[in-house]
């Protein structure tokens, strides 16, 4: 673990609310208690420890509880700050956070929510050795109008003096058992036309028809999970061929998949199959709080399970740069600084 921790890493799949540590959740619970809230859960009930698992449905219930604890701008600022600092102490040098814009009557508009996240990112980048970018998440259970609104919000920021470079893409997430991804293709095409890169949760559960339609639209820049794509993990040759043809990088989140039961165990994780295809992969956490992990731990689990050498891990850190949503110039700069740091590690 200490070697994995020392690596300068890139995190590309981290949902803000799912990334809250125990300490942060405890503080949020304390704040709610002071407000007089009753029937609050214990913080331990909001994470899934090693060796335990829950169904995807149960995981989504946890998000609901966490959203109640973060329903004001003060909490949003705190969680953004804490999550960024935790990634910093795990030696993450580049972080793409993603979050669903929230509207809470009398407390915050979606714009207030995004402004607060962006302001906190700027503040934290001033004092910590990390670059942070944001993806706005479309929740597939909320309908196409809401998705269109999210893309419009992202567009509004592209002309903003300070914020314009900070939102680098759009994510599509939310409960894969609700809504049809195909309904969102037109909105996603619109987002692409506006220059946004797209990270889409695809084939998290068996869903060949919608996965095929989205892949054929040729709009996806990164795939979240992609569990049921490879022929040998319940997908099909056609899906596999499309992903290979377009060379779409996969964000792999091993603990998340195992603990939410979409992958039976670590050994069976599709990471092994895609490595054999020599396909671009980025190790990520997904929800480091809920799944009680860190990026270093995920590197460590992958190394132990798939027999990755130190040089394999180094290659993964460097190749992750290519999968970021940064510009060519920014990628070049990031690659140089990561390489520099890796050289001094040897």
Interface residues toward ligand 5GP, by CB under 6 A = 15-18, 63, 99-100, 137, 139, 173-174, 176, 201, 204, 256, 286-287
Question: CB-wise, 68 or 162, nearer to ligand 5GP?
Answer: 68
Residue with the two structure tokens 């939410």: 260
Distance CA 210, CA 181 (A): 6
8/173 with CB nearer ligand 5GP: 173
In angstroms, the CA 56 to CA 339 distance is 38
197: left (phi over 0), alpha (psi -120 to 50) or beta: beta
Q: Which is nearer to ligand 5GP, 256 or 314 (CB)?
A: 256
Closer CB to ligand 5GP, residue 43 or residue 99?
Answer: 99
At 57, is the secondary structure helix, strand, or coil? helix
Q: How far is the CB of 55 from ligand 5GP (least distance, A)?
A: 12
Q: In this structure, what are the phi and psi dihedrals at residue 286, rounded to the nearest 5 degrees?
A: 75, -75
Beta bridge partners of 301: none
Instruction: At 123, list the tokens.
Output: 């503040």
Q: Rounded to whole angstroms, how far apart are CA atoms 239 and 247?
A: 12
Give Cα separations from 202 to 221, 247, 262 (angstroms).
Answer: 12, 15, 13
42 catalytic residue (yes or no): no
Of 204, 210, 297, 298, the catalytic one is 204
Question: What is the set of active-site residues?
Answer: 204
């Amino acid at each position: 673990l200490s070697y994995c921790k020392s690596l300068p890493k890139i995190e590309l799949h981290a949902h803000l609310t799912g990334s809250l540590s125990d300490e942060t959740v405890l503080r949020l619970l304390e704040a709610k208690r002071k407000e007089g809230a009753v029937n609050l859960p214990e913080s331990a009930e909001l994470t899934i420890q090693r060796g335990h698992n829950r169904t995807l449905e149960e995981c989504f219930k946890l998000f609901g509880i966490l959203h109640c604890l973060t329903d004001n701008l003060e909490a949003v600022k705190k969680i953004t700050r804490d999550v960024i600092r935790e990634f910093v102490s795990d030696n993450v040098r580049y972080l793409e956070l993603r979050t669903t814009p929230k509207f809470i009557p009398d407390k915050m508009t979606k714009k207030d929510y995004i402004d607060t996240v962006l302001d906190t990112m700027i503040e934290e980048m001033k004092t910590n050795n990390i670059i942070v970018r944001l993806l706005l998440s479309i929740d597939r259970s909320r309908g196409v109008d809401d998705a269109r609104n999210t893309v419009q919000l992202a567009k509004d920021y592209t002309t903003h003096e300070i914020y314009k470079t900070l939102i680098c893409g759009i994510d599509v997430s939310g409960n894969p058992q609700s809504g049809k991804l195909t309904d969102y293709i037109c909105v996603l095409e619109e987002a692409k036309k506006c220059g946004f890169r797209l990270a889409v949760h695809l084939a998290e559960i068996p869903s060949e028809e919608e996965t095929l339609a989205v892949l054929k639209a040729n709009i996806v820049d990164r795939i979240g999970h992609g569990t049921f794509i490879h022929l040998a993990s319940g997908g099909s040759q056609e899906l596999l061929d499309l992903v290979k043809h377009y060379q779409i990088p996969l964000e792999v989140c091993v603990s998340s998949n195992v603990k939410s039961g979409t992958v039976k165990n670590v050994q069976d994780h599709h990471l092994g199959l895609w490595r054999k295809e020599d396909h671009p992969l980025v190790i990520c956490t997904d929800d480091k709080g809920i799944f009680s992990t860190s990026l270093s731990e995920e590197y460590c689990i992958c190394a132990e399970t798939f027999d990755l050498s130190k040089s394999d891990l180094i290659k993964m850190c460097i190749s992750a740069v290519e999968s970021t949503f940064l510009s060519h110039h920014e990628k070049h700069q990031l690659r140089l600084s990561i390489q520099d740091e890796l050289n001094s590690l040897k």
